Structure 1
Amino acid sequence: MFKKSLLALAVASTLFSCQQQGQQRTANVLKAAAKEYYPGEDDDWLTKKPEQVGMDAAKLQEAVEWAKTQETTQMPADFSTQEVIFGKLLGSMPTDRASTNGLILKNGFIVAEWGDTQRADPTYSVAKSYLSTLLGIAIDKGLVKAITDPVANYVQDGGYDSKQNRNVTWEHHARQTSEWEGALWGKKHDFVGKEEYGRGERKPRTLQAPGAFYEYNDVRINRLALSLLRVWQKPLPDLLKEEVMLPIGASDTWRYVPYHNSYAEVNGKRMASVSGGTRWGGGLWISARDEARFGYLFLRKGKWHNKQIISEEWVKEATSVRGPVGPDYGYLWWLNTEGKAWPDAPTTSYAALGAGQNTIWVDPEHDIVIVWRWHDGNPNELIKRVLAAVKA
C-alpha cells in the first residue's frame, strides 16, 4: 500500500510538472506575441522616437534628409514620358503624382516619414508581389493544389493549349520563366516595336522550354493575372481587398485599375482582369502607408494580430531562391541571397520593386520595413544609412 501511494504521488508530481511546463510555454508564446505591435486601421499607427526602438536619431535623420534629395528623373510628375518609355497605353494614367516620399518601420512602429505618404499613386511592378500573394492564398485554400502543377490543369480558355504553353506551371509564371507564347490585351509576348513597347522593345529570339529561361515580361505576368481570375472566379481587386487589405487595416484610397480592354467572361459574367504593373497604364494605385502595411505583413510571416492572413510557408517560399534560372528572385519578389542587390543589407532581406524606383524593402534580421517611392537613389545607399542608425 505504501509503495502504491508513493507511485501515485510520483505520477501526480510528474503530471503537475508537465502541466506547469505547458502553462509556462503558453505564457512565453503569449508574451512573445504581446511584444509584436500591429497598427490599427488606416491612420491609427503609432510613431516612436528612434531611441525608443534602439536607433540613433541623428543618423536616421541623416538617412531621411539624403532620401529627400533623390527625386526621380525617370518620369516627370505628369507622366508625359510614359509612352516613350513603355509604349502605347492600354489603360488610364493619373495626371500627376506625389514627390519622393517614404517611411521607415522599426518593430512595426513608424520611426521616420517624409513626403506625402498618403497619396495613392501607381506603384508599377510592385503589383507583381501582390499577384504573387493572391497565388499563395489560392494554394493555401486548395484552389491550386501545387505550384508545380501546369496551369492548363486549371484554366481551359485556349491560352495553354499550344505545345509551347501546355507545360507552363504556376511556378514558371511566378518566377518569370514561363516562356508563355501569345498575345493578350493587344500586346505580344515578344515585345517587338517601339510604338507598342517604347524603350522596352526586344528583338525576336528562339523560345526556350518553360522553366529554362528567365525574362522579365509583363505580357506573361498579365497572363498569370488572367489565370488567377479564372481560378478564383472573382475580380482580383475584390479578393485583394477581402483577403489582405481589409484584414491589415489598409485605407480605402487604393485602387487596382484594369486596362480599358482587359475584360474576360467568367461564369457568364464580365470581369476585369488586372495587370502586373503600370507599364501600359492602369495597375495598382496605392499609398506608401498602405504599402508599408503589406511589407509589415510579410515581415510578420503572414500574420496580423492573431490571424494568419497568408501561410508562413508561402511567405518563406515566395521570398526564397527557387532555382538556378534567372536572377536572385523568388516568387515575384526580389532577393538579396547573394548580397548583390543591396551589398550592405542582410542576405535575408527582400523587396517588391517597380519603375520610378517604387520600393518596399523588408529586413527580418533588423525588424525593419522601408517604403521609398519616386526616387533615383540606389536603394542600398538608403538601406546602408538606415542600418547605420541601428544600435548594436
Structure 2
Amino acid sequence: MTKTISVILTALFVISCSKDNPQPDLPPAQESMYFPPLTGPVWETKSIADLKWNQSAVQPLLDYLELKNSKSFMILVNGKIVMENYFNGHTASTNWYWASAGKTLTSTVTGIAQQESLLNINNKVSQYLGTGWTSETLAQENLITCKHLLSMTSGLDDTTDDVDPASLKYKADAGTRWAYHNVYVKLQDVVAKASSQSWENYFNNKLRDKIGMNGTWVQLGVNSVYTSTTRSMARFGLLMLNKGKWDNNVILNEAYFNEATTTSQNINLGYGYLWWLNGKASYHLPQSQLTFQGSIIPTGPTDMFMALGKNDQKIYVIPSKNMVVIRMGDAADNVNLALSDFDKVLWEKISTLYQ
C-alpha cells in the first residue's frame, strides 16, 4: 500500500511540475506551418523573444530599411508574422507593384495549367499561339518551347522589351543562350489560349483567391505588372515555402515546384523557372552575358530562392529556416532590374537577427 501511495504521489508531482513548467517551444524547423484565414485581418504572430533572436539587431535593420526607401518589410517564420513594418506613409492596406518579382506568379500559374492538362511546358509555344508570333523563320521559332520562356533561354534578341512579332528577332537557337527578356509574358497568352479564358480570370480562380491574396494586374506598356498589399505578397511566399500547398490543399504540385526552384539550364545556374536561386557555383545578371562566380547573395542562406523585381521588390524564401522575407519600396540606391548591392547588406542585417 505504501508503495502504491508513493507511485501516485510521484505521478501527481510530475503532472504538477509539467503545468508549472511547460515545455519550451519547439524550434522553428519542427513547428507545424501556420496559414492565415483566407479572409479578414487575422494573422498569428511570433515574437523575436519567442524565437530567441537578437532584439538588439531589430532597430538597425529597420533604420537601414527606412534609409533605403523601403515602404514595407515582413518576416514570416512557419507562416507566423515575426516582423511587419511600414515606412514613408505606406500602410498594410496600400497596394504596390511587384515588378519582375511577379514573374514567379506567371511561372506558378503556368505550372497549375500544366497539372490541369491544359498545356505542356515541353511543347513549342507556337502550338498555343500559332506560328508567326516571332519574326524568326519557322524552323527557328519551332525550337522555342514554353520551358525556354520559363528559363529565359528562348534565344530571342533581348535588346528590346517589346514583344510584338517584329521585335522578337533571332539571336541564337533556343536553349543555347540565357538572356533576361520580357518575352516570358507570352506565357500568359499561352495560359489564356489553353484555358479559353483571360489570363487574369484564370490567375484569380486558380491562385489568387485560393490563398486569400488581393491585387490586380495592371498593363504598363508591354508589361503586365501585378500590384497587391505586402501581406498578399507574403501569402504567395508562404505558399512557395510550403512547396505549393496551402494548408492541406495542393495549389501547385510538388514536382513542378521542385523544377521551378532548381537550376533550369546549364548557362545561368542561379535561375530556375523565373525564380532566382542562391547558393549556386555561378550566375548571370540581367542584361549581361558574363558569368559571375559564386552565390548571387553571398551573405544570404545558400538554399534561398527569390522573386526579385525592379527597384528592389523582394520575396526571399528560405526553406532551412522555414522563413519568408518580403520587401517593397522604391529603389534602395540606383534603378535596377532585379539585383542590387542592397540585397547583400540587407542580408547581413537580417542574419544578425538569428545568428
TM-score bucket of the superposed structures, by smaller chain: 0.7 to 0.9
Alpha-carbon offset, residue 175 of structure 1: 0.7
Structure 1 pair 121–279 and aligned structure 2 pair: CA distance change class (3 A):
farther
Kindly indicate whether residue 321 of structure 2 is the aligned counterpart of residue 366 of structure 1: yes
Kindly indicate whether residue 196 of structure 2 is the aligned counterpart of residue 241 of structure 1: no
Distance 1:150 1:280 in 2: 22
Alpha-carbon offset, residue 149 of structure 1: 2.3
Q: What residue is the counterpart of 1:17 in the other structure?
A: none
Letter in 2 for 1:113: E
Alpha-carbon offset, residue 281 of structure 1: 5.8
- Which of 182, 187, 191 lines up with 1:224 in the alignment? 187
Q: Look up the SS of the partner of 1:389 in the other structure.
A: helix
Structure 1: where are the runs of 5+ without partners?
Answer: 1-31, 72-98, 191-205, 259-277
Alpha-carbon offset, residue 303 of structure 1: 0.9
Kindly indicate whether residue 46 of structure 2 is the aligned counterpart of residue 109 of structure 1: no
**What's the RMSD between the two structures over aligned residues?**
2.5
Contact 1:154-1:231 within 8 A present in 2 as well: yes
Distance 1:187 1:173 in 2: 18
Q: Look up the SS of the partner of 2:314 in the other structure.
A: strand
Q: Look up the SS of the partner of 1:249 in the other structure.
A: coil
Deviations 1:4-33 (A, max 9, x none): xxxxxxxxxxxxxxxxxxxxxxxxxxxx99
Contact 2:156-2:172 within 8 A present in 1 as well: no
Distance 2:141 2:101 in 1: 26
Q: Look up the SS of the partner of 2:274 in the other structure.
A: coil
TM-score, reference length from structure 2: 0.76
Distance 2:199 2:40 in 1: 21
- Which of 123, 147, 150 lines up with 1:174 in the alignment? 150
Q: What residue is the counterpart of 1:133 in the other structure?
A: 108
Distance 2:114 2:268 in 1: 23
Q: What residue is the counterpart of 2:302 in the other structure?
A: 347
Distance 1:164 1:213 in 2: 14
Deviations 1:36-56 (A, max 9, x none): 211113422122211213422
Deviations 1:207-259 (A, max 9, x none): 110011111111x12222222221122112112211111111223xx11123x
- Which of 28, 36, 39 lines up with 1:39 in the alignment? 36
Q: Look up the SS of the partner of 1:314 in the other structure.
A: helix
Alpha-carbon offset, residue 186 of structure 1: 8.3
Q: What count of residue pairs does the alignment treat as equivalent?
A: 295
Kindly indicate whether residue 233 of structure 2 is the aligned counterpart of residue 291 of structure 1: yes
Structure 1 pair 141–66 and aligned structure 2 pair: CA distance change class (3 A):
same
Q: What residue is the counterpart of 2:140 in the other structure?
A: 164
Contact 2:279-2:298 within 8 A present in 1 as well: no
- Which of 253, 263, 277 lines up with 1:335 in the alignment? 277
Alpha-carbon offset, residue 34 of structure 1: 7.9
Question: What does 1:1-392 align with in structure 2 at a 5 Å threshold?
Answer: 35-40=32-37, 41-71=39-69, 100-115=71-86, 116-145=91-120, 147-156=121-130, 158-159=132-133, 162-180=138-156, 184-185=163-164, 188-189=167-168, 207-218=171-182, 220-251=183-214, 254-258=215-219, 278=220, 280=222, 282-326=224-268, 328-338=270-280, 340-374=295-329, 375-376=331-332, 378-390=342-354
Letter in 2 for 1:217: H
Contact 2:111-2:252 within 8 A present in 1 as well: yes
- With CA pairs under 8 Å and 6+ residues apart, which has the higher RCO, 1 or 2? 1
Contact 1:164-1:180 within 8 A present in 2 as well: no
Alpha-carbon offset, residue 157 of structure 1: 5.4
Distance 2:112 2:325 in 1: 24
TM-score, reference length from structure 1: 0.69
Contact 1:295-1:361 within 8 A present in 2 as well: yes
Structure 1 pair 185–44 and aligned structure 2 pair: CA distance change class (3 A):
farther
Q: Look up the SS of the partner of 1:356 in the other structure.
A: coil
Contact 1:120-1:286 within 8 A present in 2 as well: yes
Distance 2:319 2:221 in 1: 30
Distance 2:102 2:118 in 1: 21
Structure 1 pair 50–300 and aligned structure 2 pair: CA distance change class (3 A):
same
Structure 2: where are the runs of 5+ without partners?
Answer: 1-28, 281-293, 333-340
Q: What residue is the counterpart of 1:271 in the other structure?
A: none
Q: What residue is the counterpart of 2:12 in the other structure?
A: none
Alpha-carbon offset, residue 388 of structure 1: 2.1
Structure 1 pair 33–368 and aligned structure 2 pair: CA distance change class (3 A):
closer
Alpha-carbon offset, residue 171 of structure 1: 0.9
Paired-residue identity, %:
25
